């Protein structure tokens, strides 16, 4: 029998050290860790390696069940896969042990609560965005292209292709920004009174 540990965090600014040390202290002889979103299986290569490698009689250990999955369906799929292989799932900080009836029951309950928490968080985010929009303070995502940098390079006589290469953006984006800037410049000039601001604007 071998005990494998799996540690996961969602973002780069989170630390995996505590999870890894806890799993090793609990008896895990091999611990794999990764930074990945827990709401889906795609991209979680280390988890997939463990699931492919474990065999009958082995134990997969996590600190908490939400390190393994954040949705009931995903959790059920993983547990079914482990059960088919004869592998036991355990959590160091929760009474989860699929080798016992009580442990299986608690696991199901945790899966429901984990998904409920995720859905609540999404709902709060949407409510916050709606409230910000109602107050007129929601600006959405910040632009990913630095329009000022595009204009500066163009002002130095650099062509659109080279600007796109330097800023790692598409040429279409470069030309769209330059055309918008040129259009805005034309609008600021009154066609009836050259050198003046837009007609009707003091």
Active site residues: 10
Report the run of H or E that residue 3 belongs to, with start and end.
strand 3-9
Annotate 152-191 with DSSP letters as a single string: HHHHTT--HHHHHHHHT--HHHHHHHHHHHHHHHHHTSBT
User: 């895990």: which residue's tokens?
Assistant: 28
Closest Cα to residue 5, out of 48, 56, 57, 63?
A: 63
Checking 112-118 for CB contacts under 8 A at 24+ apart, the result is: 112/72, 114/65, 114/66, 114/69, 114/70, 114/71, 114/72, 114/75, 115/70, 115/71, 115/72, 118/39, 118/70, 118/71
Contact 36, 10 (CB under 8 A): yes
Closest Cα to residue 38, out of 75, 77, 13?
A: 75
């Amino acid at each position: 029998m071998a005990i494998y540990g799996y540690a996961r965090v969602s973002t780069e600014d989170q630390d995996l050290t505590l999870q890894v040390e806890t799993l090793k202290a609990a008896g895990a002889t091999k611990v794999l860790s990764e930074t990945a979103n827990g709401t889906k299986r795609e991209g979680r290569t280390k988890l997939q390696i463990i699931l492919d490698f474990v065999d009958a009689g082995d134990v997969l250990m996590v600190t908490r069940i939400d390190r393994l999955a954040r949705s009931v369906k995903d959790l059920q799929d993983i547990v079914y896969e482990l059960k088919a292989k004869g592998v036991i799932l355990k959590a160091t900080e929760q009474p989860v042990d699929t080798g016992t009836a009580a442990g299986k029951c608690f696991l199901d309950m945790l899966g429901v609560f984990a998904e409920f928490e995720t859905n609540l968080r999404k709902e709060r985010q949407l409510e916050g965005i709606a409230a910000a929009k109602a107050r007129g303070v929601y600006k959405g995502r910040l632009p990913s292209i630095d329009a000022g940098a595009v204009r500066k390079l163009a002002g130095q006589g650099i062509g659109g292709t080279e600007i796109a290469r330097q800023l790692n953006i598409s040429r279409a984006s470069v030309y769209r920004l330059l055309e918008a800037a040129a259009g805005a410049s034309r609008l600021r000039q009154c066609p009836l009174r050259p050198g003046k601001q837009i007609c009707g604007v003091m």
